[in-house]
Amino acid sequence: MSVELPVAPVDTLIRRRAGDLRVSHHAAEELARRIQDRGARLAAQAAEQARGDGRKTLMVEDFGAEASGDEEITLPIAPVDRIARLDIADEFRVASDARVALAAILEEWGESVAEGARVLAEHAGRRTIQAEDVETYLRLVE
């Protein structure tokens, strides 16, 4: 699976939670890969929900979210749309508000992972968040 999500917005996302710590490029790449994996899994689950309801369009509620439209999202919507389509059949469409909802869900999840990675880096006595911090945090919580 190629990485559809650009690293730059993920780097911005992780730096929001980094505090005084630096962020390695590999940490941002790892988080981008993990966000993409999670987005593809969520979309596959949403597709099953839509299929069960007899629909061919993924809606906001299929992601267990509510459409608010007033949130500022760092993750770009077009790559999130491509991520949503990675593991679902071509028969499905993704509603535009569902793309935004998925981006918001992924961003919130990514920020919580970034926060956990920061705590682990600080605990290890390092001044830089590394990819291993992202990996370790996710192993601990999943």
Tell me how far apart the alpha carbons of residues 20 and 4 are, in angstroms, rounded to a whole number.
Answer: 29
Tell me how far apart the alpha carbons of residues 81 and 94 are, in angstroms, rounded to a whole number.
Answer: 7
Tell me how far apart the alpha carbons of residues 81 and 118 are, in angstroms, rounded to a whole number.
Answer: 28
| Structure-block tokens of residue 139 | 């192993």
Task: Specify the CATH number for the domain of residue 135.
Answer: 1.10.20.10
**What's the average pLDDT block by block, 10 residues per block, for the chain (142 residues)?**
84 96 97 96 96 95 75 91 90 94 96 97 97 98 90
Domain extent at residue 44: 7-141
Torsional sign, CA 24, 29, 30, 35: positive
CA 79 to chain centroid: 11
DSSP 68: -
Q: pLDDT at position 3, please?
A: 64
- Domain assignment present for residue 57? The answer is yes
- Domain assignment present for residue 53? The answer is yes
Q: How many independent structural domains does the chain possess? A: 1
- Domain assignment present for residue 27? The answer is yes
- Domain assignment present for residue 76? The answer is yes
- Domain assignment present for residue 2? The answer is no
Q: pLDDT at position 4, please?
A: 81
